[in-house]
Structure 1
């Protein structure tokens, strides 16, 4: 009788920076009962992968769980698969960090289990053709991809019952195709139904001593066995997982379970295969622009086979979401810093690797880059990495022109012992990042309100510019706060998106633009706007000064506002709020205006800081409102408002006669509480 081998691979992952209660829930409802079931069925061999955040949690907090895994591995029932430590998308990080993350993960697993892994799990199965050289250099012998990535270049399902060898510059790794047709059966169909479908994959040709046993690889998320809605009842209360393992143990006349490591030792690859850049099929849809994604989805619904749909490239996310692109380039900038620092401490690299956790760098049908706590974790770890290699005990400040985001235009980068500031002259002269280093927080992290495929038929508030800070608005006096918050107003100037000239002198950054502001009857009037930011690291203070000059032939009467976005994680938490004149007035999710303001603050007691605006000489009208995006709470679930930032915008009435100038000044200071 012909026989078949089955390799079951279970991938377990929680994002670095995820909420502690999610870790507890995942172990309680999925990871621990799954391992308990394996203990009851010693005849079932599996390969398990745990991403770095879970390995850290297991090492630090779950000794009993660790001992169970060690026992399962010692009796040959479980293989622990390696990977890049904190589950980065390999395409998003520098090659030196690909090597570093994989080697670090291997060291951790060897320390925990006494065996160095030879295989790796690739986050989101994102693949690029140059990976084999890097993987081989990191000591990797094999990895896994979806079968659709093989079928896209002409392989038939019957060709994929084993591994293939792929290489770059003679450096080779084995790649196991994972069957995607059988995957949806687990754990929703009876175990016997799965075995019947599996048996149909058995080749009809008789086996020979020279040919390895046909192999089917099933790769599944561990969260699908207890954490997905309803699966805890199916798998454990209803006994599905025990019945599934029992069925595998009883089918030994034609089926044997194996680990990937065991298979590599006993069977040769079928042949060579050279795979193009790609990922699983849905990722190709999600990375596309809105209209292209709709066309892709329509083609799939018409029945066009998935392998024939090219989809997008994962790196498209860096363009589709400029905030993600900026964060990824910021990460690469910190990586260069560390690798250029002699004897950088290991902890600095751990922070860098945690900042490379892939979840924050893309978005599908829920979560991802829209989750502020994931971006918060990225920036916190990047700042901690910098703190580990740069002096903090004395005051210093440097201002440089650096093209951090690789767009061909230089940013102005201010770095000091207490603050980092990044200005983008070619995009409104805006402040794109303001790091407060003592608390390792990017104060101005936000995300723009934009339309997504799941918004069809939904009324949305959309932004016409990226949510940054130090954004210069000219609006009519008739525009209300509600209209501004909804984006339903006319921008009278061309400064929000315009190009600025940048300059630097000592501790000061200057940004200048000659643009236009609509004057009487909508006539464009030439206006020069120059803003100066003086950085005082010892005081954690920014002194902002505007000089606005009317070079035209018409007088202008308008209102000028300077917009800031502060991303402080929670809109309605009792320990995060606005204060005006030292008096608490509203939480950070509130929309309100205050007239004649001399001082106002955003307070975050959880982070232990306060951001204070101080208006000297001329009081301001202050507008405050939240920026919230609508995102499904779960795949296919109802849309939920996700807090991104709190807008604080001082405004002044501006009477600007022709050939005259006006000056406005205020300070923003951060204080620890």
Structure 2
């Protein structure tokens, strides 16, 4: 009987600058016990990928684990990748090459190997990366069997194929989805039967291909007890090293001793679940979408990505600048599926921390006018020594980014609440499932608590947005985004009529009456002055409401005009102060005259590996005054 060549690989990664407690938990619950178990089976060959920054963290903070990994290098093949785990197809070629070479050097220096295999972040494939991979000495990458199925190659996934672009070729190994869902959740005897079926296949080179998250072996729910307390991993290694039908190999060994199965060309896809998550229309999610659709699906993701692209064009030879740029390219913040991704404020804070540090290193203080987010409309970037403000004229001349330079913190790191497919899942769909078996996190159920509500926003949660509504507008319908909108200014296109004064004008409607609004900004050191004027012949009793959405790191420590922040707050004042002990700053709005103020927390309900997350994304603030025929509303925002 032919033996099955088991190509077993684990990929381990944590978002850049993840919390120390999360990192040490992953080390102690997954990474270290995995290698300690592997040490007991010297005949078990496997391949390993760790993102570069995670390897650096382990080297600095856990010498025992790092030394263990070094000592096992005779049975381990180390895979390269982008050092800070970017989606390679989403970053410029120069950054792609630099990140791969940086990880190559680390592996060569610490594990005495020159990597020829590369872990393709989130298995996002695009032909455009082939030339750069070849330039970095990469000969093969890992994709999914879904890549081949999507291309119509539905048979014979038991080896590797070749593909090419621009006369450069590379090998691709397709991961078995069946094995990915079985390991480590199924009994090892069932997995042995899966491998036996591969060994008896009539065609192919009999390679059983699995390369999946290292966190599955201890970090995912219930997997620590499964893998170590109950001995699943030990039993699996023992099965593979004693079986007469299984021979473990590294990918390099298999690649060097077997021919390709043929030539293929792959579509721009990722693994099957990612295709469902990235689909723009839930009705067609089963057909999948390309990964870059996340930039369309989540404007905040697009903004972060395009800010990084903008900074990449300006890169210098400064090593600190380049390191900040590469860290900002980390993939985790840009998408959402089972994991939080774009829904996690801490990940967005990290991305902005490095984006703002790059801006600080550039030291630009001149007005910049450029289309940052690639939507065909220019944004206006105002800079001072203490603040950086970006205005979006084609969305109500609102503010889309407001950075505190010395803290590397974006106060407008907000997230618009949008409908997700899993919001509509019904518990009845899962009642007949067997709950006695540990399941992969792809089968998680969203159970929303009775006292929680899922709100959806009608517009992007930027700042300095202009609403015209009825007098009955209250904090409840503001919070739920269900208030009546009589004006057309929130997301309208404003024309710049004076670039030096950042003065913008828009003609629109209030009810059925023509109206015109002008809005200007003056940025000076630590303050931003804003003048708004609305001209109309409206006679109805309406209210003007100016909306801001501000993000903070710790909401339970904020003080609003000297009072601790409550869930919802309504007050009247000429001045509003928000003291943030985390930033060690006081934010001040000065309106000159008394205005009514609504303040409420905006939270999202999102899917996560634990089931469901309720996450406070930002504070929504609304400043109200009675609408008049020719309304003037001037105020200052300052930071002390």
Is the TM-score greater than 0.5? yes
**Whole-angstrom CA distance in 2 between matches of 1:378 and 1:221:** 23
Q: Report the equivalent of 2:559.
A: 578
Residue 504 of structure 1, CA deviation: 4.2
Deviations, residues 47-77 of structure 1 (Å, cap 9, x unaligned):
111113312311221222111111000xx11
**Whole-angstrom CA distance in 1 between matches of 2:205 and 2:474:** 72
Closer/same/farther in 2, CA of residues 477 and 270 from structure 1, 3 Å limit: same
Residue 160 of structure 1, CA deviation: 2.1
Determine if the alignment matches structure 1 residue 256 to structure 2 residue 231: no
Q: Equivalences for 1:425-504 in 2 at 5 Å?
A: 425-456=393-424, 460-504=454-498
Closer/same/farther in 2, CA of residues 504 and 116 from structure 1, 3 Å limit: farther
Q: Report the equivalent of 2:307.
A: 330
Secondary structure of 2:148's partner?
helix
**Whole-angstrom CA distance in 2 between matches of 1:292 and 1:415:** 43
Q: Report the equivalent of 2:15.
A: 15
Residue 203 of structure 1, CA deviation: 4.5
Instruction: Decide which moves more: 263-272 or 138-147.
Output: 263-272
Contact 1:569–1:643 (CA under 8 A) maintained in structure 2: no
Determine if the alignment matches structure 1 residue 200 to structure 2 residue 197: yes
Contact 1:286–1:293 (CA under 8 A) maintained in structure 2: no
Residue 19 of structure 1, CA deviation: 2.4
Residue 183 of structure 1, CA deviation: 2.2
Contact 2:279–2:288 (CA under 8 A) maintained in structure 1: yes
Q: Report the equivalent of 1:623.
A: 598
**Whole-angstrom CA distance in 1 between matches of 2:414 and 2:367:** 24
Determine if the alignment matches structure 1 residue 566 to structure 2 residue 543: no
Deviations, residues 391-430 of structure 1 (Å, cap 9, x unaligned):
3xxxx73112211111111111223333221111111111
**Whole-angstrom CA distance in 1 between matches of 2:284 and 2:151:** 21
Deviations, residues 576-604 of structure 1 (Å, cap 9, x unaligned):
x1321xx2x132x6211111x12222222
Closer/same/farther in 2, CA of residues 527 and 237 from structure 1, 3 Å limit: same
Instruction: Decide which moves more: 422-431 or 497-506.
Output: 497-506
Contact 1:570–1:643 (CA under 8 A) maintained in structure 2: no
Deviations, residues 247-282 of structure 1 (Å, cap 9, x unaligned):
11112x432111112223333323222111111111
**Whole-angstrom CA distance in 2 between matches of 1:284 and 1:632:** 16
Q: Equivalences for 1:54-453 in 2 at 5 Å?
A: 54-73=54-73, 76-157=74-155, 159-203=156-200, 214-251=206-243, 253-293=244-284, 296=286, 310-338=287-315, 341=316, 343=317, 345-388=318-361, 390-391=362-363, 397-453=365-421
Q: Which runs of 5+ in 2 are unaligned?
A: 427-447
**Whole-angstrom CA distance in 1 between matches of 2:52 and 2:344:** 20
Q: Report the equivalent of 2:584.
A: 608
Q: Report the equivalent of 1:302.
A: none
Determine if the alignment matches structure 1 residue 669 to structure 2 residue 631: no
**Whole-angstrom CA distance in 1 between matches of 2:349 and 2:585:** 15
Residue 213 of structure 1, CA deviation: 5.1
Residue 353 of structure 1, CA deviation: 1.4
**Whole-angstrom CA distance in 2 between matches of 1:44 and 1:234:** 20
Q: Report the equivalent of 2:444.
A: none
Q: Which runs of 5+ in 1 are unaligned?
A: 207-211, 297-309, 519-523
Determine if the alignment matches structure 1 residue 590 to structure 2 residue 567: yes
**Whole-angstrom CA distance in 1 between matches of 2:371 and 2:276:** 30
Deviations, residues 534-583 of structure 1 (Å, cap 9, x unaligned):
1002xx11011122222x3x435422122111111333x3x3x1321xx2
Q: Report the equivalent of 1:655.
A: 628
Closer/same/farther in 2, CA of residues 365 and 232 from structure 1, 3 Å limit: closer
Q: 1:514 aligns with which of 479, 486, 507?
A: 507
**Whole-angstrom CA distance in 2 between matches of 1:67 and 1:143:** 27
**Whole-angstrom CA distance in 1 between matches of 2:51 and 2:186:** 28
**Whole-angstrom CA distance in 1 between matches of 2:455 and 2:4:** 55
Secondary structure of 1:97's partner?
helix
Secondary structure of 1:98's partner?
helix
Contact 1:578–1:600 (CA under 8 A) maintained in structure 2: no
What TM-score does the superposition give when structure 2 sets the normalisation length? 0.92
Secondary structure of 2:414's partner?
coil
Secondary structure of 2:351's partner?
helix
Secondary structure of 1:83's partner?
coil
Contact 2:383–2:523 (CA under 8 A) maintained in structure 1: no
Q: Report the equivalent of 1:307.
A: none
Instruction: Decide which moves more: 12-21 or 136-145.
Output: 12-21
**Whole-angstrom CA distance in 2 between matches of 1:100 and 1:365:** 30
**Whole-angstrom CA distance in 2 between matches of 1:488 and 1:386:** 38
Residue 632 of structure 1, CA deviation: 2.6
Q: 1:544 aligns with which of 519, 530, 555?
A: 530
Contact 1:3–1:213 (CA under 8 A) maintained in structure 2: no
Secondary structure of 2:547's partner?
strand
Q: Report the equivalent of 2:523.
A: 535
**Whole-angstrom CA distance in 2 between matches of 1:556 and 1:655:** 9
**Whole-angstrom CA distance in 2 between matches of 1:363 and 1:471:** 27
Secondary structure of 2:199's partner?
coil
**Whole-angstrom CA distance in 1 between matches of 2:79 and 2:171:** 14
Contact 2:7–2:248 (CA under 8 A) maintained in structure 1: yes
Secondary structure of 2:507's partner?
strand
Contact 1:164–1:273 (CA under 8 A) maintained in structure 2: yes
Task: Provide the aligned C-alpha RMSD in A.
Answer: 1.9
Residue 103 of structure 1, CA deviation: 1.4
**Whole-angstrom CA distance in 2 between matches of 1:214 and 1:640:** 42
**Whole-angstrom CA distance in 1 between matches of 2:157 and 2:75:** 25
**Whole-angstrom CA distance in 2 between matches of 1:311 and 1:288:** 6
Closer/same/farther in 2, CA of residues 325 and 505 from structure 1, 3 Å limit: closer
